[in-house]
Each structure stands twice: as C-alpha cells, then as structure tokens.
Structure 1
Amino acid sequence: KPETGGARSLLCFSAYAKFSGAPLKVNVIDNTWKGSRGDVPVLTTEDNIVSQPAKILNFLRKQKYNADYELSAKQGADTLAYIALLEEKLLPAVLHTFWVESDNYFTVTKPWFASRIPFPLSLILPGRMSKGALNRILLTRGVPPLYHLREVEAQIYRDAKECLNLLSNRLGTSQFFFGDTPSTLDAYVFGYLAPLYKVRFPKVQLQEHLKQLFNLCRFCDDILNSYFRLSLGDG
C-alpha cells in the first residue's frame, strides 16, 4: 500500500508483534481524521488504549512480548542509533517518493488513498497529506545552503541512498540485523523498506537503488514470506 506515517508504523508494529509472539488482530478503522493526525495505529486491549509505535512497543515489552531479550547493551544502543538514522536520513526521501514526486503521487498514492476515504474527504485529505509531507521535508532539510526545492531533493536522495548502503553493509549476509533472530531494529527497517520495495511507481529513483542492494530485498522478502504470507505489490 502507499506510504503514510500510519502505514509505515503499522508495518513496524505488526512485524514486532509477530517477532515477539504477541497475539494481534488488525482492524481497519474508517476514521480518516485520526489517520491524518497521525494517531494510528492504536493498540487496544481489555484495559488499555496505546498509540504511537514507540509506546506500543514499550507496552508489549512490559507484557513480556520482547523481541530484544537476547540483545546485548551495545546492540540495544545500536538499535536506537539506527532508528534515529532512519528517521533523519531515509524518511525525508520516502515521504518525497510517495507524497511529493508528482508522477508517483498522482498515479499511485493519491488514487490509492482517495479510494479508501469517504467522500468528500477523498477530495481534501490526499492534498493535505502531500502538503504536510513537503512541509516536513522543507522544515527539517530546507536550511542554508539548501535554499531551493531541487537542491533539497538532491540532498535528501543522496542521504537516503547512503542510509540504504549503511543498512546493507550492516546486514551483510545475516538473516537479520543481529543474527538469526529478528528484533526491534528489523521491525523498523522492514516498516520503512517494504512499501518502498513493493509498490509499483512510475518514478523509481530510490526504489531502483534499493533493488540493487540484494540483501535488503532478500530481508524484505524473507519477512513477508515467513511472517506475513503476502506481497505488498499484490494489494
């Protein structure tokens, strides 16, 4: 499915739940205003309602569903560092790919998103999401000496490709980032990479770079086949 903050977070959260063995049922809610504010996914239990991926993961850990129990202190610190790297270096280009690049937005993201929103919100929210993505990119990256949008775009794609290269080098020939057992970092990386890897775009600059990093593609395929039994490109 096309990328939104909620979709990426849901993939991350769903992957972590599967890695840790947490029983999880995903319900699609028809409340697009919540999604537009970034309030999804939400974890609902008999006694609790928890939102935001980090808080959801912490809640699951407290319930003994911990995908990181075998990690060392250094690996735990590395996890936090790589998650910060994803948010700083990869996220701006992912947002641009889905929401700002006009060919991708008008042929893939907007039609998919609008088809799942009731009228008249389908006329309003996709444009609002696109503007929000552009504003986020410019607020975080549009600083001197990058004054013009084209300069910002060139820089965020350079940063994203460098980030993908770092992830590929870190993964190496291992099945997961810390060996044979998936952890929080694997869930986060999967949440970022799987939509980028599987969605069919007309403009594929970042996707083409990802598909040249065969170990990251294998990483996505393995998690999809082992834990999700589906291809995001088929939906």
Structure 2
Amino acid sequence: MTSLVSQAVSVELGPQVPWPENVSFYQPYESDQILLPDCANCLAVKTFLHMNGLNFLVELRTNAEEMSPSGRVPFIQVGAFLISELDPIIAFVNTKGFNLSENLNEIQRSEMRAYMSLVENILVNAELYICWCEDTVYSQVTKKRHGSIHPWPLNHLLPWKRRQEIKSRMKSTGWGKKTMNDVCDEVITCCQALSERLDRQKFFFGEKPTELDALVFGHLYSILTTNLPVTRLAEIIRGYPNLAEFCRRIDETYYRESDFEEV
C-alpha cells in the first residue's frame, strides 16, 4: 500500500515540481494530549524535514490520528495527498530531489538501515511499553492524555481498549512478558550500539546528517525531555555522554538552544 501511494504521489508531484510552500504537518496537541511514542515519531519527521531545509506548517489537531491515512501520526498534506509516518515521507521527499544519504555508499546505506531497524525494534517498543504497560505511567499519564479529548465514559473506555491493543501487539513482537528491567536491558543494548557507532563524530556517518540522525534524535530527545513518573529510560540515555551531546547539538542546530529541562 505504501509503495502504491508513493508511486501515485510521484506521478502527481514528481521531481519536476518544486517543494510546495503550503505543506501542512499534522500532529496531536503537545501540551495535554500527545504521548511519548507519538512525540518521538513527530519529532523524527520534523527533524528530517528541517535537515533537508524544507518548509512546512505545523497543524495541531485533537483528531490527528483519525485523520491520518495509516491511523498513525504524524502525516503531511501535500496538495490532495496525505502521507503518514517517517518511511513514506522519506520516500516522497526523495522524489523531490532531496536525499540526505545520497553520499553514502551501498555498504553504508545498509548499515544505516540496520541501525534504523534497531531503533524501531527497541526504542519504539520501549516507549510503547513504558506508556501502556507500566502501571504507574499508564494511570498517571497515559490514561489521562489519551482520554483527554473524549467525554465520560469514553475517556475511560478508549484508553483501556487501546491498552489491550498495545499489549496484544507487544505480545506478538516478543515484548509481552518483559519486565521493566528487561526493557531497560534492551535500551542499554541499543544505546551502546548507537554510542559506539557515533563515537566522536558530529553525525552517525560523518559531517552530514542522514535519516538515521533524524530518527535517533526524535526518539532519544523525546525520552530525555518527556516528564514521566518513571525516568529509567532517560537515565540510561544520560549514561552515554556522546548521545546526550548529539541530542543537544541537533536541537541547537535545527531548533533552539536547549538546557534539557523536562517539559
């Protein structure tokens, strides 16, 4: 389905058409609605677009998830087309002549994709786990935020329903029986691999950013700055100084100067 959408968009808005000035970027409200996994996904896509120097207008919607063609956020609107999630958005941007990894050779591109898969398999699941499976975070944060836009009793029923769906998904990916300690061990493994790959470089593949840099920043920075009653994931990341400095550097370059105050 994703490839068919990308092909249709390419035909309608191919490389001969410049990046439109009226691209809209849709996401939930950050102050009282968005959850850590969605925040990370939205920040990764925003950062990717910024790294390409592309303009877009952020549109906040309480029902952004329902508006998305895939049921997930973020998504962008380009003319009559809606394109959701990082990979399809990367594919579309590439059709416009923007390619962050164009200078990498095939071995480096394969390595980049492997690290992106590592992030998606570990950090994404860890974010889902802590928001939906960790009881304290679910009761104090997730339930309230996910139900905030709905009246009673939907504000109780819908978070419960989504929690069951997430738990079923976690079970299917082998994360269903993990404890918080197990999740932390997985995150340590991921951060160790990322830290070793980054080493003392500015970006993961040298002096220029790639899609991997946008993805890693979106997830690490969101974990570091999201205020949760359980902070073990953020503490793990802070244990890798070069990853924390990487996040600070990306933030200063593409957003603003950051002191890593929790929000």
Contact 1:22 1:60 survives alignment (8 Å): no
TM-score by length of 1: 0.84
- In structure 1, C-alpha distance between the alignment counterparts of 2:191 and 2:205, rounded to whole Å: 17
Structure 2 partner of 1:189: 216
Contact 1:171 1:177 survives alignment (8 Å): yes
Structure 1 partner of 2:39: 7
Whether 2:95 is the aligned partner of 1:68: answer: no
Structure 2 partner of 1:200: 227
CA RMSD of aligned residues (A): 2.5
Report how far residue 220 of structure 1 moved: 1.3
Name the amino acid aligned to 2:77.
T
3-state DSSP of counterpart to 1:69: coil
Report how far residue 200 of structure 1 moved: 2.2
- In structure 1, C-alpha distance between the alignment counterparts of 2:137 and 2:257, rounded to whole Å: 23
Name the amino acid aligned to 1:29.
R
- In structure 1, C-alpha distance between the alignment counterparts of 2:158 and 2:228, rounded to whole Å: 21
Structure 2 partner of 1:24: 56
3-state DSSP of counterpart to 1:141: coil
Whether 2:172 is the aligned partner of 1:124: answer: no
Pick the aligned partner of 1:43 from 69, 72, 76.
76
- In structure 2, C-alpha distance between the alignment counterparts of 1:192 and 1:138, rounded to whole Å: 22
Unaligned 5+ residue runs, structure 2? Answer: 1-29
**Inter-CA distance 204–18: structure 2 relative to 1 (3 Å threshold):** same
- The residue correspondences of 1:133-148 to structure 2 (distance < 5 A) are 133-141=166-174
Q: Please identify the structure whose Cα radius of gyration is greater.
A: 2
- In structure 2, C-alpha distance between the alignment counterparts of 1:82 and 1:35, rounded to whole Å: 30
Higher helix share: 1
- In structure 2, C-alpha distance between the alignment counterparts of 1:55 and 1:187, rounded to whole Å: 15
- In structure 1, C-alpha distance between the alignment counterparts of 2:92 and 2:255, rounded to whole Å: 22
- In structure 2, C-alpha distance between the alignment counterparts of 1:167 and 1:207, rounded to whole Å: 15
Pick the aligned partner of 1:79 from 101, 105, 112.
112
Pick the aligned partner of 1:170 from 193, 197, 220.
197
3-state DSSP of counterpart to 1:138: helix
Unaligned 5+ residue runs, structure 1? Answer: 143-147
**Inter-CA distance 126–194: structure 2 relative to 1 (3 Å threshold):** farther
The number of equivalent residue pairs is 228
- In structure 2, C-alpha distance between the alignment counterparts of 1:126 and 1:230, rounded to whole Å: 35
TM-score by length of 2: 0.76
- In structure 2, C-alpha distance between the alignment counterparts of 1:171 and 1:137, rounded to whole Å: 29
The range that moved more, 40-49 or 205-214, is 40-49
Contact 1:5 1:38 survives alignment (8 Å): no
Structure 1 partner of 2:6: none
Report how far residue 233 of structure 1 moved: 5.0
The range that moved more, 192-201 or 90-99, is 90-99
Report how far residue 167 of structure 1 moved: 0.6
3-state DSSP of counterpart to 2:233: helix
Percent identical across equivalent pairs? Answer: 27
Structure with more contact order per residue of length (Cα contacts < 8 Å, sep ≥ 6): 1
